[in-house]
Amino acid sequence: MMISYRKLCSKSLLSFLFLQLFVFFSHKCFAETQLGICKSQSLAQLASVQGELWIDVLGTGQWQLVDQMQPLCEGSRIKVSANSRASLLLPNNILLRLDEGTVLTLKGIAANEPTLLD
């Protein structure tokens, strides 16, 4: 029995759309999982972002474009794009301002101790 060309295209299109949705939402779920891990630790918080700011929440090479104020945990990496800047609020109430081209790793975050940066 032959499958019509129209049915074949329809199945291919549905498979493609399903794959795209899976890729899109799995990345979002992974990001939410990363944030859930950070909530159990001492946090730094993004206070402001102008332009593009990239974040690798767990320091694993999974860079994400920041689209909202999100917490940062120990090991998070931050990369500020050209013509951009950001401010971080550290647990000891220090406001750290980052200029374009900055890449840093939060090495140690604790409320009563200095925050270590790399």
Structure confidence at residue 91 (pLDDT): 80
Structure confidence at residue 26 (pLDDT): 47
72 pLDDT higher than 60: yes
Is the pTM value of this prediction over 0.85?
no
19 pLDDT higher than 80: no
Distance CA(78)–CA(53), nearest Å, equals 7
Distance CA(20)–CA(14), nearest Å, equals 10
Contacts of 114 by beta carbon, 8 Å cutoff, 6+ apart: 92, 108
Of residues 83 and 20, more confidently modeled: 83
Do 118 and 88 touch, CB atoms closer than 8 A? no
Which range is least confidently modeled, 54-58, 72-76, 81-85?
72-76
Structure confidence at residue 102 (pLDDT): 94
Task: Single out the residue of 70, 42, 67 nearest to residue 53, CA to CA.
Answer: 67
32 pLDDT higher than 50: no
